[in-house]
Amino acid sequence: MPNTAAASVTAPASSKRGRPGYDQQSVLRIAVDVFNKHGYDATSMGLLAEHLGISKSAIYHHVPSKEDLLRLALEEALGGLEGVLQLDGATTGAPDARLEFVLRGTIEVLVSRLPFVTLLLRLRGNTEMERDALARRRVFDRTITGLVSDAQRDGSLRTDIAPGTVTRLLFGTINSIVEWYRPGGALSAEKLADDVLAISFQGLHK
């Protein structure tokens, strides 16, 4: 399967210029690291300023608020994942091929935007913005369940497991990647996707 999904959907967020030494994207990346380490709710603008090495007021040259940083971060994650569903490989072809394409693309987005997807997966739904993000994630999951259902009806997947259960098991595996995968190591994103798909569709038997 062509390894094109991530390249098609990983355009960076706006690089709005602000205070010298940072642009909006670099502030966002550091902020996301802090959110993931301390939790979004527990992260104050003062803590962000400490990690950035600038004053709190200087942060506002880049973004209006902490909430705006969260919005930008979640859009990086959700925009990437939703973008996979718009690619030709996700909308044309046999159902099982479309499912594999979307799963591969999901893994590639997860790896290329690892801190952002990690933040998405750790949301608790404490704010309206978080609840909206979780709702978009559920729509994404339902789309995958639909692909599983189509593949079952097509006869390419076993039918004794409910489509929703298949989706939860697949994404239990995929989502766990954020807890242990380290980009730049010996395991490339492409090989990781190959391994996940092999386990998911072929199992461990020879």
Sign of the dihedral through C-alpha 72, 76, 78, 83: positive
Residue 17 DSSP one-character state:
B
d(CA 175, CA 108): 12
The string of pLDDT tens digits covering residues 123-152 is 999 999 999 999 999 999 999 999 999 999
pLDDT band for 204, please (50, 70, 90 cuts). Answer: confident
The pLDDT of residue 205 is 83
The string of pLDDT tens digits covering residues 2-58 is 444 444 444 444 444 444 468 889 999 999 999 999 999 999 999 999 999 998 888
Note the CATH architecture for domain 5-12+67-202.
Answer: Orthogonal Bundle (1.10)
Domain ranges of the chain: 5-12+67-202
What is this structure's pTM?
0.86
Please report which helix (H) or strand (E) contains residue 12, including its range. none
- Over range 161-179, report the average pLDDT: 97
Instruction: Kindly tell me the burial class for residue 52, based on how many C-beta atoms sit within 10 Å of its own C-beta (0-12, 13-18, 19 or more).
Output: buried
